[in-house]
Structure 1
Amino acid sequence: MLQTLIPSAAPNACATSNRGVLSAAANGLDGFIVQHGGDLDRVFGRSGIDPEQLLHPTLSLPLTNYCKVLEEAARQTGCDNFGLRYGQQFQPQALGLLGYIGLCSATLEDALINFSEAFPFHQHSTLIELVDQGDCYRFDYQVRHGAINERRQDAELTMGMALNLVRHVLGPTWAPRQVAFEHSRPQDWHEHRDAFQADVRFAQGCNSLLIPKSELIDKVMPGSDPILLMLIKDAIRQLGDTGSGVSSETGLLDRARQTILATLHLGEPALDEIAHDLGLSDWALQRKLRDRGLSFTQLVDQIRQESALTHLKQQHLSVTQLASMLGYSETSAFSRAFKRWFGVSPKQWRSAANS
């Protein structure tokens, strides 16, 4: 039986002053883009990022813009594995408060727990869990913002950050037992295997690292400092929400989209299950959606349409794989739905988009 040690924070437990992600998560991004031949003005301009914000690690960047700048950087530099490479060089101390919560912990196990516990204050609309699987911990990560479909680069960056926290203690050759990504397998996937020195799987339900517990036993953090840890925990908690309301970013519609997106790969979304996850009755969710001019079926359709177009741009994901990711039991059912939405088949759309 799996036991969740550190659950992701509820929407009203996240930070008031941070409604996205702390800009420390983009530490050195400008230099890394230039190093890979990218045009900073173009990348930041298209992503809606003010470079001045990157100079202040506790300022908040909208999560939509943050994920977009990483995807745009990958496109502009021609480096498909941009997030992976950025994550490989991203050391814990560069992550600001969140990084030092790990570094100042007593043991490596404590570092992983403290890092997971603090993460919701660092980044909003995100699942972070450290799951006890018996002989291993599974570190899960997934952006759950309803407006973000392209998030591959962010996922690869974050897995690299977590990897480097462990390697800070166990050395640069340490490898997890397994790595999983929710996105499809990229063309240069061998680079992922080499970076993690592990079995890397794609098109999974969540991004995760599988860490053997035996390798964490009695591993003391070299920079352990209980007093500084207490001060850093207090500082990051001050970013927390002291108000009683939920921000507009995490309104009902956005939370419904996040929940549907996170469970879509499991099959056809059920109204009663989504409503239960949102703490509502079936009729209450239907009424609230109707007030916004939507039915539950229309909302699921919208999410599937957006996700289908996003993933069809990835050449190495087959239509059959995409159908399964979108919750269709048969590829033919997905193809019929796609033709109803856009008037052409998924293969025709992909061919035209890349011609």
Structure 2
Amino acid sequence: MPIARTVDAAPPRHVLAAAASGVTRFIAAEGGDAERVLERAGVPAERIADPLLPLDLGAYCAMMELAAADTGDANFGLRFGQQFEPEQLGLIGHIALAAPTLGAALDAFAGLFPFHQQVTETCFARNGDTLRLEYRILDGRIVERRQDAELTMGMFANVLRRCLGRDWAPDEVQFEHPQPGDTREHRQAFAAPARFGQRSNALLFRCRDLERPMPGRDPAAFVALREELRRVAGSTGALGFIDRVRGEVRSRLSSGYPHVDQIAAALGLARWTLQRRLAEHGCSYAGLVEDVRRELATRYLAERHLPVGDIAGLLGYSELSAFTRAFLRWFGVAPTQARRRQDAPL
């Protein structure tokens, strides 16, 4: 009997509109056309005005990428995040500010952020003397997300700066996207080394002040605001099975080919269960990895500063020749030839 194939419905995934507070003014200040950006992204301008309304997360990320292109500022998200104060984040920001201590603020912020922004994984953890505040989007459908990552790390840093002072800096900031052509502004913004092509986005720091009181601590508000965020958001969202697998594959590619056992463990499944469910969706694990690689290859090739050899590494190929063969199979040309065609005048 043939296996019945199922199709993943694309469940909605939202971010509260507070995450876009002030974005139209910022686009205009950077010389862009906010109305054009929002229209192209599919973000209704009237929804941005209410911080409690949900925006589609894919459209929100697209809006930030389009804003970078429209303003001609590749670091649009970085700059937007640096000036984004915790109050602008709406409920999740006020929760952090009302926490009794910095440690409680970071625990609550990480634990509740997926209500503010669905299908997101946020973690606050300790590894020896180092603390790590980590963030990534789980949805494999959202391919272009550099601007979101850079603005979110800026937002996170400003929560810490509210308690520890404006001069506070992490020991290191990490980003999952490839390294931009010029990283000086990143290092200046965080006053710390920046690493790219990582599994997730994160602030790494050492802090002995987790018991320091938050300046706006308010125990009653801290409790009430947490319940209000859960009520407004409703849930942390749901991902289609294929989209979650794609997201887990993407997060591991820069470390080499992601073994099926790694992905199964990340999803809490047995290997055979993962493979069976993929078959039910009409695909194989190897085919899905190839789809993710192909999609990212075209995106990374457009980053002119990235050597083709580096792109091969970011996609999990140990040898440039293996990437070249795969690219030829996908597109009929070598990656270097494809890049020359991109660079050719119309």
TM-score (norm 2): 0.92
Q: Rate the CA distance shift 1:329–1:134 in 2: closer, same or farther, 3 A.
A: same
Gap change, CA 1:150 and 1:272, over 3 Å in 2: same
- Deviation, 1:325, is 1.5
**Aligned partners of 2:308, 2:274: CA distance in 1, in Å?**
32
Is 2:73 the partner of 1:79? yes
Q: Summarize deviations over 1:107-166 as a string: whole Å, max 9, x none.
A: 112211111011011111222111202212111111121111111100000010011111
Q: Which runs of 5+ in 1 are unaligned?
A: 1-15
The answer as to whether partners of 1:138 and 1:209 remain within 8 angstroms in 2 is yes
Q: In 2, are the aligned partners of 1:289 and 1:295 still within 8 Å (CA)? A: yes
Cα contact 1:184–1:316 (8 A) shared by 2: no
3-state SS of 2:258 partner: coil
Contact (CA 8 Å) 2:252, 2:258: kept in 1 or not? Answer: yes
Change (3 A) 1:339 1:242: closer
Are 1:172 and 2:166 an aligned pair?
A: yes
Instruction: Find the counterpart in structure 1 of residue 243 from structure 2.
Output: 254
**1:217-256 paired onto structure 2 within 5 Å:** 217-239=210-232, 241=234, 247=238, 250-256=239-245
Q: Match for 1:166: what amino acid?
A: L
1:314 matched to 2:317 = no
Residue 8 of structure 1: aligned partner: none
Alignment size in residue pairs: 334
Among 40, 54, 63, the residue aligned to 1:60: 54
Matched, 1:336 2:330: no
State the one-letter code of the partner of 2:216: G
Q: Does 1:281 align with 2:270?
A: yes
For residues 86 and 96 of structure 2, what CA distance do their matches in structure 1 show? 8
- Is 1:324 paired with 2:313? yes
- Ranges in structure 2 where 5+ consecutive residues have no aligned partner: 1-10
For 2:106, what is the secondary structure of its paired residue? helix
Q: Secondary structure at the match of 2:24?
A: helix
Q: Distance in 2 between matches of 1:252 and 1:304?
A: 18
Given the two structures, how large is their TM-score scaled by the length of structure 1?
0.89
Provide the residue aligned with 1:163 in structure 2.
Answer: 157
Query: Equivalent residues in 2 for 1:42-191 (5 A)?
Result: 42-191=36-185
The Cα RMSD (Å) is 1.8
Separation of aligned partners in 2, 1:112 and 1:149: 28
How far is 1:270 from its partner? Answer: 2.2
Tell me, yes or no, if structure 1 residue 293 matches structure 2 residue 285.
no
CA offset at residue 252 of structure 1?
Answer: 1.1
Rounded to whole Å, the distance in 2 between the matches of 1:129 and 1:190 is: 27
1:172, CA displacement in angstroms? 1.5
Is residue 2:259 matched to residue 1:270?
Answer: yes
* Residue 271 (structure 1) shift: 2.5
CA 29–332 in structure 1, closer or farther in 2 if over 3 Å, else same? same
* Contact 2:15 2:54 survives alignment (8 Å): yes
Q: Is the 8 A contact 2:175 2:202 kept in 1?
A: yes
Mapping 1:185-200, distance limit 5 Å: 185-200=179-194
Question: 1:9: which partner in 2?
Answer: none
Q: 1:30-80, CA deviations, whole angstroms, 9 ceiling, x for partnerless residues?
A: 110111111122211111111111011111111111110000000000011
Comparing 205-214 with 270-279, greater Cα deviation is found at 270-279
Contact 1:81 1:188 in 2 (8 A): no
Residues 144 and 261, structure 1, Cα contact 8 Å, conserved in 2: no
Tell whether the 8 Å contact from 1:335 to 1:345 is kept in structure 2 after alignment.
yes
Check whether the contact 1:289–1:296 (CA below 8 A) recurs between aligned residues.
Answer: yes
Over the matched positions of the two proteins, sequence identity in percent amounts to: 46
CA distance in 2, matches of 1:342, 1:349: 9
Tell me the distance in 2 between the aligned counterparts of 1:288 and 1:164. 42
Deviations 1:146-205 (A, max 9, x none): 111111100000010011111112222111111111222223311111111111222222
Amino acid at match of 2:96: G
Whether the aligned pair in 1 keeps the contact of 2:171 and 2:204 (CA below 8 Å) is yes
Say which SS state the counterpart of residue 92 (structure 2) adopts.
helix
